């Protein structure tokens, strides 16, 4: 899964250039983006032009009765998204780029013992997760401002990451981002993009990232990784 990510180290001007965003697009650094928070995504408008937006993380399908469903919809499994009612229509018509430069995973080492890792592309360059978005209003309330939300697609982890976690977010190749946003792209093209990304850099970080209220640069400081807990030794009588 993907439960936290970052957009921390990239110059805003370079980021706007990288994703073809308007000069007035406001981009702020974040070191611990969590579900339920607004985050930068890129969609296309009716004319096919790229449009930056701040959407809420946790998809709320248009047919949902309660927006609390979002907390079960922060990720969509790439293998089954086309079959799920919440994701089928967005996968076909409402794809977006979720802008990031790293993400966190927690390696389980034993009971109540986890090591968080920060994963990045080599050189910490920015990238885009494959995202889906949706618009929701309370039932029967077309007069209120819609809630726009997104989810991040995940796939199985490559061999070099599987010791940390068996899933990872889909990181789109740069040359595939236009296809992902293209409303005319056919399902086969889209499906072929939902693959693991090997060769990521990783860094063990401290437990403070586990608190979603923490959002500061020191979260990314490297630490000595924890090791698996040693089994308890039976007491000796002699």
Sequence-distant (≥ 6) Cβ neighbours of residue 212 within 8 angstroms:
4, 32, 34, 36, 37
- How large is the average pLDDT for residues 156-185? 95
What percentage of the chain has pLDDT greater than the value 70?
96
Q: Which residues contact 86 (CB under 8 A, 6 or more apart)?
A: 59, 61, 69, 73, 76
Q: What is the pLDDT of residue 236?
A: 45
Residue 88, pLDDT > 60, answer yes
**Is residue 142 over pLDDT 80?**
no
Lowest mean pLDDT among 22-36, 75-89, 135-149: 135-149
**pLDDT of the residue at 159:** 94
Residue 138 has a pLDDT of 86
pLDDT of residue 154: 98
* Dist. CA 164–CA 222, nearest whole Å: 16
Q: Quick check: pTM over 0.75?
A: yes
Q: What is the mean pLDDT of residues 84-90?
A: 96
Across residues 157-172, what is the average pLDDT? 96
pLDDT(121) > 90: yes
pLDDT at 112 over 60: yes
Percentage of residues in the chain having pLDDT higher than 90 = 83
Q: Is the pLDDT of residue 51 over 70?
A: yes
pLDDT at 238 over 60: no
Burial class (CB in 10 A: 0-12, 13-18, 19+), 159: exposed
Does residue 237 have a pLDDT over 60?
Answer: no
Grade residue 230 by pLDDT with cuts at 50, 70 and 90.
low
Q: Give the long-range contacts of residues 181-189, CB within 8 A, separation 24 or more.
A: 181/42, 181/43, 181/44, 181/50, 181/95, 181/96, 181/97, 182/44, 182/48, 183/44, 183/48, 183/93, 187/82, 187/92
Question: For the chain, what is the mean pLDDT?
Answer: 92
Cβ contact 135:175 at 8 Å: no
Mean pLDDT throughout 113-137?
96
pLDDT of 172 above 60? yes
**pLDDT number for residue 232:** 42
SS3 at position 12: helix
pLDDT band at 47 (very low <50, low <70, confident <90, very high): confident
Q: Per-residue pLDDT averaged across 123-142, rounded? A: 91
Task: Name the token pair of 137.
Answer: 């209003």
- What are the catalytic residues? 2, 105
């Amino acid at each position: 899964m993907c439960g936290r990510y970052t957009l921390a180290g990239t110059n805003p001007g370079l980021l706007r250039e990288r994703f073809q965003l308007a000069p007035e697009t406001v981009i702020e650094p974040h070191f611990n983006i969590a579900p339920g928070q607004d985050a930068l995504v890129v969609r296309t408008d009716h004319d096919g032009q790229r449009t930056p937006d701040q959407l809420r993380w946790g998809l709320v399908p248009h047919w949902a009765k309660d927006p609390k469903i979002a907390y079960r919809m922060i990720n969509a499994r790439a293998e089954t998204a086309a079959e799920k009612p919440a994701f089928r229509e967005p996968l076909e018509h409402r794809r977006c780029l979720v802008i990031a430069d790293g993400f966190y995973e927690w390696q389980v080492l034993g009971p109540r013992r986890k090591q968080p890792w920060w994963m990045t592309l080599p050189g910490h360059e920015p990238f885009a997760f494959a995202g889906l978005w949706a618009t929701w209003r309370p039932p029967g309330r077309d007069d209120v401002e819609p809630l726009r939300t997104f989810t991040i697609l995940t796939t199985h982890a490559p061999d070099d990451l599987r010791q940390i976690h068996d899933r990872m977010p889909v990181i789109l190749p740069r040359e595939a981002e236009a296809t992902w946003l293209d409303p005319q792209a056919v399902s086969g093209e889209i499906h072929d993009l939902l693959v693991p990304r090997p060769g990521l850099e990783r860094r063990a970080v401290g437990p403070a990232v586990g608190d979603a209220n923490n959002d500061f640069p020191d979260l990314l400081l490297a630490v000595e990784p924890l090791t698996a807990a040693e089994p308890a030794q039976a007491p000796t009588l002699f």
